[in-house]
């Protein structure tokens, strides 16, 4: 599903970024650009990152 509509970023892309070593919203923001425009996706993106980190 789309998490960040501004950049058409999906939850799968965010999970993959964590698998590649990102461990914070700032990291994923740098890699994908998530939450760098309107910011509405920040909370959901962060939840996905935290959940994914638990599986790492
Ligand atoms: Fe992600 Fe706007 S929805 S920056």
Model confidence at 56: pLDDT above 80 = no
Q: What is the ipTM of this complex?
A: 0.98
52, two tokens: 């994914």
Q: Is 38 in the pocket of ligand 1 (CB under 6 A)?
A: yes
pLDDT at 10: 98
Residues 9-49: tens digit of each pLDDT:
999 999 999 999 999 999 999 999 999 999 999 999 999 99
Residue 3 has pLDDT above 90, yes or no: yes
Give the ranges where the chain is alpha helix by DSSP (H): 11-19, 25-32, 42-55
Answer yes or no: is the C-beta of 43 below 6 A from any ligand 1 atom. Answer: no
Taking alpha carbons only, the member of 16, 6, 7 closest to residue 48 is 16
Our mutation pick for probing the ligand 1 site, out of 11, 26, 39, 44, counting the most ligand atoms within 8 A of Cβ, is 39
CATH architecture for segment(s) 2-55: Orthogonal Bundle (1.10)
Q: 9 alpha carbon to ligand 1 midpoint, in Å?
A: 9
pLDDT surpassing 80 at residue 52? yes
Domain ranges of the chain: 2-55
Task: Determine if ligand 1 sits within 6 Å of the CB of residue 26.
Answer: no
């Amino acid at each position: 599903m789309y998490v960040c509509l501004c950049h058409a970023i999906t939850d799968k892309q965010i999970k993959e970024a964590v698998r590649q070593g990102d461990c914070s919203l700032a990291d994923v923001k740098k890699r994908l650009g998530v939450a760098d425009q309107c910011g509405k996706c920040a909370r959901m993106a962060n939840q996905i990152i935290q959940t994914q980190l638990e599986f790492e």
